[in-house]
Amino acid sequence: MSQEMKIGLIGAGRIGRVHIAAMHRDVPGVSVGVVCDLVEEKATGLAAEYGVAKTAVSYREVCADPTVDAIAVCTNTESHIEIIECAARYGKHIFCEKPLALSLPDIDRALAVVKESGVLFMLAFNHRYDPGNTRLKQDIAAGVIGRPEMVFITGRDPSLQPLDYLKTSGGIFLDTVIHDFDCSRYLLDDEPEEIYARGECNVDPAIASFGDYDTVMLIARFKNGTLVHYNNSRRAVYGFDQRIEAFGSKGKIETSNILETNLTYAHVDGYHRPPNLNFFMDRYVQAYREEGRIFADCVKNGRTPPSGGFDGRQAVLMGLAAKKSAAENRPVRLEEVDIR
Amino acid sequence: MSQEMKIGLIGAGRIGRVHIAAMHRDVPGVSVGVVCDLVEEKATGLAAEYGVAKTAVSYREVCADPTVDAIAVCTNTESHIEIIECAARYGKHIFCEKPLALSLPDIDRALAVVKESGVLFMLAFNHRYDPGNTRLKQDIAAGVIGRPEMVFITGRDPSLQPLDYLKTSGGIFLDTVIHDFDCSRYLLDDEPEEIYARGECNVDPAIASFGDYDTVMLIARFKNGTLVHYNNSRRAVYGFDQRIEAFGSKGKIETSNILETNLTYAHVDGYHRPPNLNFFMDRYVQAYREEGRIFADCVKNGRTPPSGGFDGRQAVLMGLAAKKSAAENRPVRLEEVDIR
Amino acid sequence: MSQEMKIGLIGAGRIGRVHIAAMHRDVPGVSVGVVCDLVEEKATGLAAEYGVAKTAVSYREVCADPTVDAIAVCTNTESHIEIIECAARYGKHIFCEKPLALSLPDIDRALAVVKESGVLFMLAFNHRYDPGNTRLKQDIAAGVIGRPEMVFITGRDPSLQPLDYLKTSGGIFLDTVIHDFDCSRYLLDDEPEEIYARGECNVDPAIASFGDYDTVMLIARFKNGTLVHYNNSRRAVYGFDQRIEAFGSKGKIETSNILETNLTYAHVDGYHRPPNLNFFMDRYVQAYREEGRIFADCVKNGRTPPSGGFDGRQAVLMGLAAKKSAAENRPVRLEEVDIR
Amino acid sequence: MSQEMKIGLIGAGRIGRVHIAAMHRDVPGVSVGVVCDLVEEKATGLAAEYGVAKTAVSYREVCADPTVDAIAVCTNTESHIEIIECAARYGKHIFCEKPLALSLPDIDRALAVVKESGVLFMLAFNHRYDPGNTRLKQDIAAGVIGRPEMVFITGRDPSLQPLDYLKTSGGIFLDTVIHDFDCSRYLLDDEPEEIYARGECNVDPAIASFGDYDTVMLIARFKNGTLVHYNNSRRAVYGFDQRIEAFGSKGKIETSNILETNLTYAHVDGYHRPPNLNFFMDRYVQAYREEGRIFADCVKNGRTPPSGGFDGRQAVLMGLAAKKSAAENRPVRLEEVDIR
């Protein structure tokens, strides 16, 4: 590998923009060498914006490019598997967005290819790399709250995504709750055994037409007896709401939202504070940078990424269990949906 | 009725003390005329403390006392029904602690006696009378959060009660979560249709020996589609934790705990704020006073109490559904447990 | 003294109402026996409201009344001295509103009469009896912040009082800042040696016409080297603002305002909390009750009140120094204005 | 100027490190071309750390270097004037740390050279470039608080600097309060007319030996009638404390400290939040970046820096007035110290 690690960025959409900003601009020693998108203008536009010389429309071309050290998979979920397999076969390290894929057999096949090829695989669960969440995990591990008895994770998007996006998102459990599924495993260092999920279409009834929900609440029981509550909404008018509360035998830790400014206003009608940082691009900007930095560090120093293929698979498994639970209105054990 | 309303207080234990303090001392126009307890010393001790002249060991004697206008039922749950029936037959108004009783047929029989007698019946769900919760209900009704989509109720006791008490408490769902069951109905002005409850013995495994839990999480679906999360713990080392969050199409409202003082300390290790008001006697002192005031007002002016027999029955029904759900690990519809 | 201590309330205006509510209604063992006001209707109106049988228009009559144990002086400042002297001569204990008086020789003469008569004298500096301030004083005394180096006291009224009131108020330093002057002495257990005051008429220029200010900032140096900042405004549109910060070698303690409810709202434009409790009648309701309780306790048990004649005189002295400082735009030492 | 603007960094001490981190690493289009320090090892050490090829011990050499576009003056205050003059004569743009200098005639002479040379001069008052303060200024200008009536600025260092540093710092008014002096002018868009300052040596009596203070409180009157309070301490054990409160006819705005994490802990003794970001290098990291970005923008696009020579001079003038005020214990008008 050259002095500077070169990333081939596949997918120049919203999340691709997030990662080029984080890795190309903010992580020393890393740069994007090629921007690739099926829509050529998207690739050239984004490349121009960041001063990247090469663009491509075919991910195979990028995987084959000898100047590229690693592939960042930022495409729609359905193409993840073939890109991962291709990258692995060309010996490129892989940084992959969530969800890994929607089918467990596909995931297992792709992860087998990755394993065989010996490349490094990192699943980009950015919530893990948020400084507050990282500290929370450390505190739990250090026993600050004693034995964890209950965890509560709130994840609410600021506004409803377009229905066209939602239809292909894999459903709310695999699209947004998946972050919280992973985060609970990360924080507790424990595995879930059963999930109960309840979903409603309170934001837009049209979402029901493709079997999805916009408002969900879940309870998972983890193997060590910790109960975990998750709630997600596709629309919180007051902004992107991301909070965790961890409760245990020795106390409680809560993370709070991060607001736009540190100003408090007092007026005739009371006190006012600004809204939360608007959406993931702002709220998790430090997390994306840290995620990129850790990926680069793992590649350069042969370390195992903190979130890998197994983590990606487990989160999908939880999502599939949640989906089944909501559909059948009963708690579902993870092994029920674990098809190998 | 004499100018001043006279209460016959049945039960001189912890909750009896709370109500004599609230009604006798703090509500103008109300006083306790007799203190009654099976243990004579408890009755005389409490009566002496508040300067009440009469005491009794038999509740029947109190119900028969012509100087008594109303009975406050503050005994153990198992005696509620017979005291209610007796009081109603003597034409005394009734102020009754939660839970009404543990058996629906008993409840229905007693409420029928109450109805027939024409006395007024108030179920003492103190959380309703907390100024913050009252305001929250008004705000929800006024549309401040738009359509309510999710509600979250946290209720955690500061420390584990003695096992002897817990054994006779009716179980966590009917002992502590019952407040939150009632509160959700009150806040939403809607009825639950189904409940899923998950319980663990994370605080003390001995609790499992009598089929109870110390750590519970629940999801209820209400008829209008609102999802309600409840969590209760028998022990929160940082103190009595009572919070509600109501989320809807136009925003969110949260109630916060009330701390011991308005002081914030800054030291080498950061910022420090004092603990929550210690337990219900402190936290809900205003609520108990308001509850007493409203009961007196209803009696004097022939108004219907905001929390009556039906509310008492519905909360027990929710508790029974939760108990069955936890035992069978499946969501339970309210009609499944509604034996008439 | 009869079993129940009987107060003769002189002055049925705003502050008289506050004290009858606190003492007559909320302090056990104390009741107002006579309400007196120069305007007969004010006396009879207030008496009727609280069920007090006797009224008077002459304070001398009240002082002479053998059924009265103590006098609460709630009149305009200019009449304080003659009422105090009269009450003392009739052997009545005295509870007196701030400021004691505007002239030091008058104060000294009245306090001499009090001393000679042997009655108990309490100056009603209610801020001392606020639970937060009491705790703050205890914490400072206990060394929680180490050596106190700087103290900051903010006192802002919610809205401008009528000019007619302001003209007779003795000026902002003796009317409102006087609370903060006393509070700083109380918190620090130390005496000021010099004060610099700067005043502006930013709220209403008309206030300048009678030589007063509506916006003031001061710095006092206390004998132990602590610097104390005070600021007062006659109008804070967001409500009654009462905060203290005490900074020392080991840290800092701040008191916060007390808000109307414990609710936090989240809407499109951010977070919202309700205003401060509106004015002193709400904000210091606990303090007034405690103040009344302590006065009764001192009378009944022959204890010395925590705020007495010397405290009343010192606060006036600070006010006079501040007034001179603002007028001459230079720091003024207390002995410069201490005419005996 | 080459495509990338090249900075000659004079002074490789603490503040030099801050600016190389901000400008070289974080501001696109800017890099440090030479690192210069009288102590050669400091220059080479810092240069190596940031991959800067050139170093120097003589600032004249750097000023004469044709590859250098601008000089960042990060040396001790006493050398500022000669470096500024030298840089201006070589036609280099100047970015200068506070305080500009301690003598007004020197400042005036240097600014005349700057003016004549036509180079751009920016005084690095980083507090102006903090996002919260910038927003506060915009809000005040937009009338959010109506007419500003009082402003309160708190600036406390976390721990006492070494006495050797303090002796040469120019004194607390010109070393730390100078930030707040400038900030008040910036926020109010108004000029002070008079200052009263009171200083104590509460942290370390040794500071008195060279005529300085460690604990100061000030009141300034601005021309439009706004009163401004400043307080500074050389040691706040709970960390770097930087807060502003602006109060006006329509309300109040406060900026809060920024804490290390977004976690809140609840334990037996209450709630705990982490300390403030430790010191200026952490607290103002965004401000330093923004300051560098704006300097580069001004140079590239020929814009006038938001904080220039006049601002630097005015802040020094305020510092000199404060010093005289504290020494003579009387309010001092700015023209009294304005020697030209």
How much is the pLDDT for D3? Answer: 72
Nearest to A259 by CA among A251, A271, A246: A271
Chain B residues in contact with C250 by the CB 8 A cut-off are 267
Kindly report the average pLDDT of chain C as a whole number. 96
Report whether pLDDT(C1) > 70.
no
Residue B339: pLDDT band (50, 70, 90) is confident
Kindly report the average pLDDT of chain D as a whole number. 96
Best residue of B159, B177, B202, B234 to probe chain A, by most A CBs closer than 10 Å:
B202
Helices (H), C90-195: 104-117, 131-141, 163-167, 172-175, 177-188
Task: Please indicate whether, in this complex, the C-beta atoms of B254 and C268 are within 8 angstroms of each other.
Answer: no
Which residue in B has a C-alpha nearest to residue D270's C-alpha?
B275
Instruction: Name A3's bridge partners.
Output: none
Task: Please indicate whether, in this complex, the C-beta atoms of C198 and D227 are within 8 angstroms of each other.
Answer: yes
Share of chain B above pLDDT 70, in %: 99
3-state secondary structure of C222: strand
How much is the pLDDT for A173? Answer: 98
Best residue of B263, B267, B282, B289 to probe chain C, by most C CBs closer than 10 Å:
B263
Residue D214: pLDDT band (50, 70, 90) is very high
ipTM, interface predicted TM-score of the complex: 0.95
Kindly list the residues of chain C whose beta carbon comes within 8 Å of any beta carbon in chain B.
25, 28, 131-132, 135-136, 139, 144, 250-258, 261-268
Report whether pLDDT(D334) > 60.
yes
Q: How do C5-10 and D227-233 pair as beta strands?
A: unpaired
The minimal CB distance from D271 to the residues B236, B269, B273 is found for B273
Residue A279: pLDDT band (50, 70, 90) is confident
Inter-residue contact A74 to A15 (CB < 8 Å): yes
Instruction: Name A150's bridge partners.
Output: A227, A247
Encoding tokens for residue B122? Answer: 């108030």
State the average pLDDT over residues D36-62: 96
Q: What is the pLDDT of residues C162-178, one digit of tens each?
A: 999 999 889 999 999 99
- How far apart CA B43 and CA B64 sit, in angstroms, is 18
Instruction: Name C73's bridge partners.
Output: C10, C96
Report whether pLDDT(A2) > 70.
no
Q: How do C30-36 and C54-56 pair as beta strands?
A: parallel
DSSP state of A238: T
Residues 6+ apart with CB under 8 A from A96: A72, A73, A80, A84, A121, A122, A123, A124, A312
Q: What angle do CA A19, A25, A26 make, to 5 degrees?
A: 85
Q: What is the pLDDT of residues B293-326, one digit of tens each?
A: 999 999 999 999 999 999 999 999 999 999 999 9
3-state secondary structure of D207: helix
Nearest Cα of chain C lies from the Cα of D220 at a distance, in angstroms, of 9
Chain A residues in contact with D264 by the CB 8 A cut-off are 253-254, 256
Q: Which helix (H) or strand (E) holds D242?
A: strand D241-248
Kindly list the residues of chain D whose beta carbon comes within 8 Å of any beta carbon in chain A.
28, 131-132, 135-136, 139, 144, 250-258, 261-268
Report whether pLDDT(C2) > 70.
no
My answer on whether omega of the bond before C99 falls inside 30° of 0, hence cis, is yes
How much is the pLDDT for D201? Answer: 97
Nearest Cα of chain B lies from the Cα of C183 at a distance, in angstroms, of 16
- How far apart CA A288 and CA A294 sit, in angstroms, is 10
Residue B1: pLDDT band (50, 70, 90) is very low
Inter-residue contact B147 to B229 (CB < 8 Å): no
Report whether pLDDT(D1) > 50.
no
* Chains near A (3 or more Cβ pairs under 8 Å): B, C, D
- How far apart CA A126 and CA A292 sit, in angstroms, is 10
How much is the pLDDT for A339? Answer: 85
- How far apart CA B134 and CA B130 sit, in angstroms, is 6
Encoding tokens for residue D51? Answer: 């991959």
Task: Please indicate whether, in this complex, the C-beta atoms of C261 and B139 are within 8 angstroms of each other.
Answer: no
How much is the pLDDT for D28? Answer: 84
Q: How far is CA B251 from the centre of its chain?
A: 28
How much is the pLDDT for A3? Answer: 72
The minimal CB distance from B263 to the residues C132, C263, C264 is found for C132
DSSP state of D274: P
Q: Which residues of B68-100 are buried (b: 16+ CB within 10 A; e: fewer)?
A: bbbbbbbbebeebbebbbbbbbbebbbbbbbbb
Chain A residues in contact with C270 by the CB 8 A cut-off are 238, 259-260, 272-275
Cα torsion angle, A208, A212, A213, A218, sign:
positive
State the average pLDDT over residues D168-180: 96
How much is the pLDDT for A212? Answer: 98
Task: Please indicate whether, in this complex, the C-beta atoms of B196 and A198 are within 8 angstroms of each other.
Answer: yes
* Chains near D (3 or more Cβ pairs under 8 Å): A, B, C
State the average pLDDT over residues D73-92: 97
Phi–psi pair at C217, nearest 5 degrees: -130, 140
Inter-residue contact D139 to D147 (CB < 8 Å): no
Nearest Cα of chain B lies from the Cα of C140 at a distance, in angstroms, of 11
Task: State how far the alpha carbon of A88 is from the alpha carbons of A19, A37, A104, B247, in Å.
Answer: 20, 19, 18, 45
Task: State how far the alpha carbon of C38 is from the alpha carbons of B167, B336, C35, C309, in Å.
Answer: 65, 72, 10, 26
Residue A1: pLDDT band (50, 70, 90) is very low
Kindly report the average pLDDT of chain B as a whole number. 96
The minimal CB distance from A265 to the residues D253, D258, D264 is found for D253
Which residue in B has a C-alpha nearest to residue D271's C-alpha?
B273
Share of chain A above pLDDT 90, in %: 94
- How far apart CA B260 and CA B244 sit, in angstroms, is 19
Chain D residues in contact with C198 by the CB 8 A cut-off are 196, 219, 221, 227, 331
Inter-residue contact B51 to B26 (CB < 8 Å): no
State the average pLDDT over residues A113-130: 97
C235: left (phi over 0), alpha (psi -120 to 50) or beta: beta
How much is the pLDDT for C198? Answer: 98
How much is the pLDDT for B279? Answer: 85
- The neighbour count for residue A81, using CB atoms within 10 Å, is 22
Residue B281: pLDDT band (50, 70, 90) is confident
Nearest to C270 by CA among A261, D180, A333: A261
Inter-residue contact D84 to D108 (CB < 8 Å): no
The minimal CB distance from D200 to the residues C225, C329, C331 is found for C225
Q: How far is CA A259 from the centre of its chain?
A: 21
Chain D residues in contact with B237 by the CB 8 A cut-off are 267-268
Instruction: Name A264's bridge partners.
Output: D254
- The neighbour count for residue C117, using CB atoms within 10 Å, is 18
State the average pLDDT over residues A12-27: 92
Residues 6+ apart with CB under 8 A from A7: A23, A24, A30, A31, A32, A33, A68, A69, A70, A71, A72, A95
Size of interface A-D (CB pairs under 8 A): 64
Nearest Cα of chain A lies from the Cα of D257 at a distance, in angstroms, of 7
- The neighbour count for residue C26, using CB atoms within 10 Å, is 16
* Chains near C (3 or more Cβ pairs under 8 Å): A, B, D
Which residue in D has a C-alpha nearest to residue B268's C-alpha?
D238
Phi–psi pair at B336, nearest 5 degrees: -60, -30
State the average pLDDT over residues A208-218: 97
Nearest Cα of chain B lies from the Cα of D162 at a distance, in angstroms, of 20
- How far apart CA A240 and CA A158 sit, in angstroms, is 5
Which residue in B has a C-alpha nearest to residue D269's C-alpha?
B275
State the average pLDDT over residues B193-220: 97
Burial class (CB in 10 A: 0-12, 13-18, 19+), D339: exposed
How much is the pLDDT for D26? Answer: 84
Chain C residues in contact with B258 by the CB 8 A cut-off are 262
3-state secondary structure of D65: coil
Encoding tokens for residue A99? Answer: 């969800």
Report whether pLDDT(C139) > 60.
yes
Report whether pLDDT(B328) > 60.
yes
- How far apart CA D159 and CA D166 sit, in angstroms, is 12
- How far apart CA B117 and CA B309 sit, in angstroms, is 14
Of A12-16, A104-108, B21-25, B287-291, the poorest mean pLDDT is in B21-25
- How far apart CA A128 and CA A306 sit, in angstroms, is 9
State the average pLDDT over residues A10-30: 92
- How far apart CA B99 and CA B77 sit, in angstroms, is 7
